[in-house]
Structure 1
Amino acid sequence: MRRATEQTADLVRAVGQERLGDPTPCAEFDVRGLINHLEWVAELFESLAEGGPRVEQGPYAGDFPERAGRTLAAWEKPRAWEGMSPAMGMPMTTLAHMFLVDMVVHRWDLARAVGEPYGPDVEAVARALGFTERMVEMGRKRGAFGPPVAVPEDAPPFDRLLGAIGRDPGWKP
């Protein structure tokens, strides 16, 4: 979680203002919208780690790295990993994996959108893929994942993860 979040924060810091209107692999988001989504994800998972409520997305603030730091601090507390989330009705470990998937995939989304290289973290991808394979149908029902994109069975794990959640690994702006 830490590595994936810090890598995502580093990439967000590197995005220039001139790129905020660029398209991303998330059809519903341009770069600004994607970073705003990441801001909300960080705020939401910080609240959930602390036993708080589900928070609504606010306007773009340009402070994802700071929010991400607070989220990581909240998840460093052992109690964050225990029991069920009162706000989401899911095990806290499930929520932690949901956050990891967001960090791994949205870093790719952002890197592709702004033309930066993306080197997936092998351990993070393995965890994200294993979790996603178990939860993909629930994710689709809740609107978190799109229809699957076919990728070869022997495709790299990261491409299989992207295809499972509805991303085309070959997407280009």
Structure 2
Amino acid sequence: MDDMMPVMTRATERTAGLVRAVRQEQLAHATPCAEFDVKGLINHLEWVAEMFESLGRKGAMVEQGPYAGDFPERAERMLAVWSRPEAWEGSNPAMGLPMTTLGHMWLVDMVVHGWDLARATGQEYDPDPEAVSRALSFTVQMVEMGRQRGVFGPPVAVPDDAPPFDRLLGLIGRDPAWKP
């Protein structure tokens, strides 16, 4: 937990900054995450933040609500819950996964959806190298389970010597060259 919280916090703050910079007229833009436009992606991030806040308390999964435009605030609450040492202990009864696995799932969401949002809205995005490294290592181990659960798409081929972030994107089914 001690070494994971700073990485999660940096990744979350980067994504929250991107969300804050979205203009109203960009909400209908397509994203690299084919199931979401920008508004849908931000709504997904709101739900993920609320859900991971609950999971960090060993609580239940929560249903996704309507778009509220408050992802940064929800993300702050989520980080506050996960900053407690007990949040990292054991497994979550609702998901049956170790809490460390859930923390890494959050990290992957923040790193990848930050890129999705930046690409869709024309913002600069330079993910934290440590976050990318951890997200890639975790995803390599969990990708098949993610595909079975419909979280990741079919892999997109990237060169073996591609940067780690491009390899992460390709592994989960994103084309690193995607443009709106």
TM-score > 0.5 by shorter chain: yes
73, 90, 97: which one aligns with 2:97: 90
Q: What pairs with 1:1-173 in structure 2 (closer than 5 Å)?
A: 1-173=8-180
Matched letter for residue 63 of structure 2: E
Q: 3-state DSSP class of the match of 2:138?
A: helix
Identity of aligned residues (%): 76
CA deviation profile, 1:24-65 (whole Å, cap 9, x unmatched): 001110000000000001001000001110001111000000
- The number of residue pairs the alignment matches comes to 173
For residues 84 and 66 of structure 2, the distance between their equivalents in structure 1, rounded to whole angstroms, comes to 28
- Report runs of 4+ in structure 1 exceeding 2 Å deviation: none
For residues 3 and 120 of structure 1, the distance between their equivalents in structure 2, rounded to whole angstroms, comes to 9
5+ long unaligned stretches in structure 1? none
For residues 88 and 153 of structure 1, the distance between their equivalents in structure 2, rounded to whole angstroms, comes to 34
For residues 74 and 127 of structure 2, the distance between their equivalents in structure 1, rounded to whole angstroms, comes to 22
Normalised by the length of structure 1, the TM-score is: 0.99
For residues 129 and 179 of structure 2, the distance between their equivalents in structure 1, rounded to whole angstroms, comes to 22
For residues 71 and 63 of structure 1, the distance between their equivalents in structure 2, rounded to whole angstroms, comes to 13
Match of 2:4 in 1: none
Q: CA RMSD in A?
A: 0.4
For residues 150 and 124 of structure 2, the distance between their equivalents in structure 1, rounded to whole angstroms, comes to 28
Normalised by the length of structure 2, the TM-score is: 0.95
For residues 86 and 150 of structure 2, the distance between their equivalents in structure 1, rounded to whole angstroms, comes to 29
Shift of 1:120: 1.6
